[in-house]
Chain A
């Protein structure tokens, strides 16, 4: 009797699970189908060319994704490079150092930040952060440290790869902190006692314990990178949206997500652009899927270890 009613529930709910799988398959199908024309037309050049050239004359159209791809990776690297040390510090602070009341406040605040609509980050980034960064950080850095390739160009506006990277950092910090904090706070007390029993200072103890959760930190990094690479609205409001490939972080750039968001509305005016944007979307999907799978896999493996359990 029991078994039968469970069966019933299983079949009753099965469609909902099925819907998810079907939607995912459909999504991939649409992306692939619509990407094929541009990939057949341009071949590998689609990936290796920095040119993005719409034209009224279909024969002259040419779409290369390299610049936005580069921008996606560049902004994401800036984002995790800033977010990683921040998240580790925040996790250690919240777990080890903050008094209990403050700890709850921080955890709550970080959760809220993770859930904010991304447009808010975008508006704030574009209206407040971008001009501030240009005057207070990017201009001085260029003036005094201009020999460093990263700072080698004079920022024209505040809308740059660097600004977008910083906004992305703010957006992935809560997320990465959550992953790292979970791992850090699960370290069994006996290891904490062991480090301290060796005469470690608080700083040395934290450093030793952090190195213990390195796999979880790597997972957080991959997942954070995946998030940053896919983020759209906040980036397209701050990155400057201009196709360029430069080592300098103070130039405007493009990301795949912001390219799609910006160009989709008028893509219909051109014969091949829609397909190019689908192909761009497909790349984004592959990147996101790869990073998330790798990150989740690492996390799952970590949770099976002695320390991560």
Chain B
């Protein structure tokens, strides 16, 4: 059997199984949960080391949820739990439940590929594929997942994603140039477009502005707030200021534990924990 026919067979098989099994994104789930993400008794280990300790969180849908905390507190690890990317590390182990719109994504019946299609991710360093053009970077996800039936549909999807990422006007005339020609801030918005093109229901962002200049950071912060209408955004930041500016809810993570979580205004105006207060005021590393 040729690779092409094997792939066709596999995608056929998966669309049949999607008909039979309700998919994660099926409407049956959508109504059942007010939370996009929930963790229940979540522990994560790398080898023997416990990185996340009994994390319990709930991320309301269509909000911006910030995870803040000092370096090494486990923010990136927590984020990677939400799309099962944590499993790429061979020594990682996850305990507890993680509910995506009410369904446990660590249930053995769940396909991690299906989870990742619904939970997009943007990384700390802009990482567009350097061998691909601007267009092909955005088109990669839809191509891998067969989201467009023809070139025209793909063109429309790419344009839509680039507009959502507030990049379209800057790149419309150079879609076929290598992605690496863009500035750092543009590259990061391209990565947002790449993730958005899959029309995910949740968007994870790991310190998306950590390596950008202030002006580019400001644009991306503004973008995050706008994206809230389409997706639920979970954004990791080590900057309390950023969390205050863009988030509706915030969790403060310290040494793998949630110290405090709640509506951003409350946490920032009346922190319940002294540790949180020290972090917010910058008294903590």
Contacts and interface: CB of A to CB of B under 8 A. Distances in A.
A48 interface: no
A306 B180 contact: yes
Nearest to A308: B130
A193 B130 contact: no
B78 to A, nearest CB: 15
Given A196-B116, A199-B116, A200-B113, A212 B88 contact: no
A192 interface: yes
B195 A197 contact: yes
A196 to B, nearest CB: 6
Size range of the interface on B? 20 to 34
Contacts of A191: 127, 129
Contacts of B180: 306
B113 A201 contact: yes
A214 interface: yes
Given A197-B85, A199-B141, A306-B180, 14 more contacts: A194-B123, A194-B191, A196-B88, A197-B83, A197-B121, A198-B116, A198-B117, A198-B120, A198-B141, A198-B144, A198-B198, A199-B144, A208-B129, A211-B131
B244 interface: no
Interface string A231-262: 00000000000000000000000000000000
B131 A214 contact: yes
| A190, A194, A212 interface centre (most CB from chain B within 10 Å) | A194
A57 interface: no
Contacts of B194: 194, 198
A197 B129 contact: no
B104 interface: no
B145 interface: yes
Interface in A184-210: 188, 190-201, 204, 208
A218 B191 CA distance: 28
20 contacts: A191-B127, A191-B129, A193-B85, A193-B123, A196-B85, A196-B116, A197-B85, A197-B116, A198-B116, A198-B117, A198-B140, A198-B195, A199-B117, A199-B141, A199-B198, A204-B144, A208-B140, A211-B131, A212-B129, A306-B180
A208 to B, nearest CB: 7
A160 to B, nearest CB: 28
Main SS class of interface, A:
helix
A212 B127 contact: no
Nearest to B141: A198
A199 B88 contact: no
Interface string B79-98: 00001010010000000000
Contacts of A208: 129, 140
A249 B210 CA distance: 59
B62 interface: no
Interface in B108-151: 113-114, 116-117, 120-121, 123, 125, 127, 129-131, 140-141, 144-145
| A192, A195, A199, A204 interface centre (most CB from chain B within 10 Å) | A199
Contact of B88 (A193, A211, A306): A193
A305 interface: yes
Interface of A: 188, 190-201, 204, 208, 211-212, 214, 305-307
Given A306-B180, A307-B130, A197 B140 contact: no
A211 to B, nearest CB: 6
Contacts of B125: 190
Contacts, number: 61
Contacts of A190: 123, 125, 127
B144 A200 contact: yes
A212 B136 CA distance: 13
A189 to B, nearest CB: 8
A224 B81 CA distance: 43
A60 to B, nearest CB: 55
| A197, A214, A305 interface centre (most CB from chain B within 10 Å) | A197
Contacts of A193: 85, 88, 121, 123
A197 B113 contact: no
Nearest to A215: B131
A169 to B, nearest CB: 21
A244 B191 CA distance: 56
A171 B2 CA distance: 28
Given A199-B116, A199-B141, A204-B144, A194 B131 contact: no
Nearest to B80: A193
Contacts of A214: 131
Contacts of B131: 211-212, 214, 307
Contact of B127 (A194, A196, A199): A194
Nearest to A212: B131
A191 B114 CA distance: 19
A198 B129 CA distance: 12
Interface in B191-205: 191, 194-195, 198
A214 B129 CA distance: 13
A199 B140 CA distance: 10
A192 B88 contact: yes
Contacts of B117: 198-199
Contacts of B144: 198-200, 204
Interface in B47-106: 83, 85, 88
Contacts of B83: 197
B75 to A, nearest CB: 15
Contact of B130 (A192, A195, A204, A212): A212
